[in-house]
Amino acid sequence: MSGTAEERLWAAVTEPGRRRLLDVLVERGEATPTALAEVLPYTRQAVSKHLVVLQEAGLVTPRRDGRQVRYAVRADQLEAAARVMVETANRWSVRLRAIKRVAEELHGAGTTGPPDHPGRTNE
């Protein structure tokens, strides 16, 4: 997966299946793809693909245990990801308040749309 670290993070956590997988890993501490597939409605192959995306985003780390690979959540990265998400939510809150203010101003002025819309008058 390419892109910035933030883009990889968002790609990883926007998919509901990966969030469920993270929840299970947080609950269990670590698990193999096979063990995860037993408790999630996904095949082992699908779980493995999700784990690759989560690993590329820095949210999980693999550990070889004999012939098996066990995955665990990287708590430090999960906390950093949560901070990024809160910062993004705050930025969007500011933007949405500005949009609401403009819409209310337009509505209060008796307009129903942008004043420079072709064919629309502000009377």
What CA–CA distance (Å, rounded) separates 82 from 74? 12
Query: Which is it for the CA torsion 39, 44, 45, 51, positive or negative?
Result: positive
Strand 30-31 relative to strand 68-73, pairing: antiparallel
CA distances from 12 to 3, 38, 68, 75, 100 (A): 12, 21, 23, 15, 31
**Out of 3-12, 32-41, 99-108, which region has the weakest mean confidence (pLDDT)?**
3-12
Class of domain 5-74: mainly alpha
Q: Can you name the residues that pair with 72 across neighbouring β-strands? A: 30, 61
* Interval 118-123 mean pLDDT: 50
Percent of the chain with pLDDT over 90: 45
CA distances from 97 to 44, 90, 92, 94 (A): 44, 11, 8, 5
Residue type at 91 in one-letter notation: R
| CA angle, residues 21, 22, 26, in degrees to nearest 5 | 120
Indicate whether 115 pLDDT > 70: no
pTM of the shown model: 0.66
Stated length of the chain:
123
Token output for 37: 């597939």
